[in-house]
Amino acid sequence: MRISYPSSFLKLLLIGFALVMLPLLFAFGNAALHLERLAEQSRKAVYQAVEATRASRALSEQLTVMERSFRQYLVLGDITLLENYRAAHREFTSSVLALQALPLDHEQRERLASLSALELELYGKIAAALPRSTASVVTEFVELSDQAQAILSASNQLIDRESAVLVQTAERAQKAMLWQILTLIPVAVLVAAAITLLLARPIRRMDSAIRRLGEGKYEETIAIDGPGDLRQLGERLNWLRAQLSDLEEQKKRFLRHVSHELKTPLTSIREGSELLAEQVGGVLSPQQREITTILRDNSLRLQKMIENLLDYTAVQFRKSALLVEHIACKPLVQEAVAAHALTLEAKQITIVTTLADITLEGDRKKLLTVIDNLISNAAKYTPRGGNIQIRLAREGKNVLLEVADSGPGIAPADREHLFDPFFRGGGDHDGHVSGSGLGLSIAREYVEAHGGTIALLPSDHGALFRVTLPRSARSAA
């Protein structure tokens, strides 16, 4: 499924950041809303509690003023004291109305209504005809004071209840916000993972494309599915791939033509040196024979290098062309060793072989080239009087071939490029002409064509190469 990307990488980043922050912003906004509601509820509760307490205390105070004013009036007979009583009555009525406006429970409202009715009844008695005895009035004032104290206590209880409700509301809000956070954090993580995947996919494909270019694999078209600027970069990489592929084709064509052009005159040079060595043109002096030997040996080396170039070119164009047959591995190794007998004898190199009788399915000529290149490479770097060890063994469904020399070994800096075409290591070797740097590259191509592997193994001294080949051609498919 094709994903629709934004027009630029920066826009994708901004969208990703926005989507990741969106759940967190929602959580913060929801938390702020809960806090605002809790604060508003707290303000209302505090206001109602303060009003209820103030009005309840005002009831008790006004009742005290009314009782004191009435008693003083009875003793002194001053009309002003009676007016004080009436003023306290009006204040008492205002406090009752203020309490009634608050959200009281049913019991408090009944107590307030009873208190208001008793006080109004007493006020009516006092306004209609003053009592001759204060005993009944005092009794009624005491009863009114008790009821006012009960209302004040109920108001205090209201404050406690409102405080408890606020605590419960705060706890519920805290739990709700906690659950929201626990829910939104995974959502934010999933969104971040999705954005990371969207960002990583085109980058991984670009990295893979660059890696293929570095490995010389130019067949697959490069197409980057991502933001617009990354798609343009992918188009540039594909243009670079086409250019490199064209250069690779030109290089192969050049190698093919040059190799064939060189092979013909070289054959004439080799035949001439052979005729001179056989003294067909006359008897040679010892110095002339030495020169002829050098000419013949180096013409053979040059012919080997040209054959390697031809083999490499053939490998690049016909990697899968294998003439599969049943091959006895032991005679194949012995044939390759015999081909280097003169070189080994000249350098006094000892060959130590441990060969098991094993057969496999493969291309005899290509496998012989692999073994020949490994032995040639070992002989090249093995010092005079050294030894080369060759081991042929069975490992499950595979055949193992190991070739170890007693030379200086492979420098750590050369190991990464050891199988690259035209790469020649910097180690010391005994030879008049440097190699083409294609022997190990051709060996790897032929081994991989059989479905096997070739690798340089760690060794205390010298170089140790291991070739692993499947015994069955079906395993290599």
> Does the pLDDT of residue 435 top 60, yes or no?
no
Mean pLDDT estimate for the chain? 77
**Which residue ranges make up each domain of the chain?**
9-197, 223-317, 320-476
pLDDT digits (tens, 9 = 90+) for 403-431: 999 888 888 877 777 877 766 665 544 54
> Does the pLDDT of residue 401 top 90, yes or no?
yes
What was the pLDDT predicted at 340?
A: 84
> Does the pLDDT of residue 445 top 80, yes or no?
yes
What was the pLDDT predicted at 425?
A: 62
Over residues 85-98, the mean pLDDT reads 82
Q: What is the CATH number of domain 9-197?
A: 1.20.120.1730
pLDDT digits (tens, 9 = 90+) for 146-171: 777 777 777 676 667 767 777 777 77
Q: Is domain 223-317 given the CATH code 1.10.287.130 in the classification?
A: yes
476 pLDDT band, cuts 50/70/90, is very low
pLDDT digits (tens, 9 = 90+) for 353-397: 999 999 999 999 889 989 988 998 888 888 989 999 999 999 888
77 pLDDT band, cuts 50/70/90, is confident
> Does the pLDDT of residue 20 top 80, yes or no?
no
* CA dist., res. 475 & res. 181, Å (int): 56
For the 320-476 domain, the top CATH level (class) is alpha beta
What was the pLDDT predicted at 404?
A: 92
Over residues 173-184, the mean pLDDT reads 74
What was the pLDDT predicted at 132?
A: 47
Q: What percent of the chain has pLDDT over 70?
A: 77
